[in-house]
């Protein structure tokens, strides 16, 4: 087994000593090359090199969801081919690690490494679906490059929160759940379209869903975690199906209080619901249009402002070792 280990040295929950222990454990079971990322996008470049080189059987991402997203986009630069491309393995090292936990991996890096080694010995793997975004023909965003996401994306309110968190991290703030909660409040206070949304969801052969303030796209569940508490926006979302969407058309104070409570008490059986909530399940393709530019996020990475984004659910896109 030949493997490339992509290490994010800024991963928030692993120390240099812990990383050394994990590297030693992995190297005892395989021919391992270790590369530490040096700039934003480096993990994507390494994933692409592994895909194009043909001399690696597996890429292991040691880091948070952002590192995983970059590796995936590198591996799938030329499109999905699970039978030909290296498999992906994940050792969680970020603050939330949604993708790894959604796969059923332990949230502790040492325990996850042990689970990975067990999976390799037992030849355990699965092929999962992913989300793909692209620019929409005939719009100002037509030339926006394609990008893959592993667990969620969002246009509007939630992406604004992600953008605010990134700004705080650039100022030296540590990524914590308390930081996210504070930015949710600030985004709400600054939201100018919370009573009448600007987003329309269109899919072929169906009536459009209009006036959304936020559209949260899920490729799996849960949507995210608050500490150890999973939060479900689309409980039916699955790595084995297309994409799910939760759209909210009202973000007034009572609505936010209601949906916030529903999120905190959500379960695999029920997510946010009500008069101003629209839930769509197992979609192959749809487009989100906005009357004004809105922030877009994918896998917790803020990608700037967009007025139109096309989403595609790509089944059996990536082979993962679990």
Residue 322 lies in a domain: no
- Given 123, 148, 163, the domain boundary residue is 123
Q: What is the pTM of this model?
A: 0.93
- Model pLDDT, residue 200: 98
| Cα torsion angle, 73, 173, 168, 230, sign | positive
- Model pLDDT, residue 180: 76
Same domain, 278 and 153: yes
- Model pLDDT, residue 193: 66
Segments of 64-157 assigned E as strands: 87-92, 125-134, 147-149, 152-156
Same domain, 110 and 176: no
Domain that holds residue 105: 2-123
Query: What's the chain's Rg over C-alpha atoms?
Result: 19
- Given 68, 88, 123, the domain boundary residue is 123
What residues in the chain have per-residue pLDDT under 70?
175, 177, 192-195
Same domain, 162 and 297: yes
Segments of 64-213 assigned E as strands: 87-92, 125-134, 147-149, 152-156, 199-202, 209-212
Residue 138 lies in a domain: yes
Closest by CA to 254, choosing from 191, 177, 210, 194, is: 194
Same domain, 201 and 307: yes
Same domain, 195 and 71: no
**pLDDT digits 0-9 by tens, 61-120:** 999 999 999 999 999 999 999 999 999 999 999 989 999 999 999 999 999 999 999 999
Closest by CA to 233, choosing from 245, 243, 241, is: 245
Same domain, 100 and 188: no
In the chain, the number of structural domains is: 2
CA–CA separation, 249 and 236 (whole Å): 21
- Asked if 104 and 321 count as a contact pair (C-beta separation under 8 A), the reply is no
Same domain, 62 and 28: yes
Q: How many CB atoms lie within 10 A of CB 278?
A: 15
How buried is 114 (Cβ within 10 angstroms: 0-12 exposed, 13-18 middle, 19+ buried)? middle
Residue 321 lies in a domain: no
- Given 106, 123, 140, the domain boundary residue is 123
């Amino acid at each position: 087994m030949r493997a490339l280990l992509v290490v994010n040295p800024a991963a928030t929950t692993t120390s240099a000593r812990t990383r050394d222990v994990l590297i030693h454990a992995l190297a005892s079971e395989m021919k391992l090359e270790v590369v530490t990322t040096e700039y934003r996008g480096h993990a994507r470049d390494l994933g692409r090199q592994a895909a194009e080189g043909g001399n690696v059987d597996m890429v292991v991402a040691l880091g948070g969801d952002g590192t995983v997203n970059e590796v995936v986009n590198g591996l799938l630069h030329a499109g999905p081919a699970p039978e030909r491309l290296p498999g992906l393995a994940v050792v969680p090292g970020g603050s939330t690690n949604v993708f790894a936990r959604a796969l059923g991996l332990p949230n502790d890096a040492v325990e996850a490494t042990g689970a990975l080694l067990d999976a390799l010995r037992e030849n355990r793997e699965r092929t999962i679906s992913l989300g793909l975004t692209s620019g929409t023909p005939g719009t100002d965003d037509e030339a926006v490059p394609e990008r893959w996401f592993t667990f969620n994306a969002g246009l509007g309110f939630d992406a604004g929160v992600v953008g605010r968190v990134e700004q705080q991290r650039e100022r030296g703030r540590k990524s914590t759940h308390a930081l996210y909660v504070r930015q949710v409040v600030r985004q709400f206070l600054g939201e100018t379209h919370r009573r009448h949304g600007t987003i329309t969801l269109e899919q072929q052969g169906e009536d459009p869903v209009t006036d959304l303030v936020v559209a949260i796209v899920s490729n799996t569940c849960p949507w995210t975690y608050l500490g150890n508490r999973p939060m479900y926006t689309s409980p039916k979302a699955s790595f084995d199906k297309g994409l799910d969407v939760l759209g909210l058309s009202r973000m007034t104070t009572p609505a936010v209080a209601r949906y916030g409570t529903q999120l905190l008490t959500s379960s695999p059986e029920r997510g946010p619901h009500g008069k101003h909530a629209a839930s769509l399940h197992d979609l192959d393709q749809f487009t989100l249009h906005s009357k004004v530019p809105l922030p877009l996020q994918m896998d917790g990475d803020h990608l700037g402002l967009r007025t139109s984004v096309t989403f595609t659910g790509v089944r059996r896109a990536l082979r993962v070792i679990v």
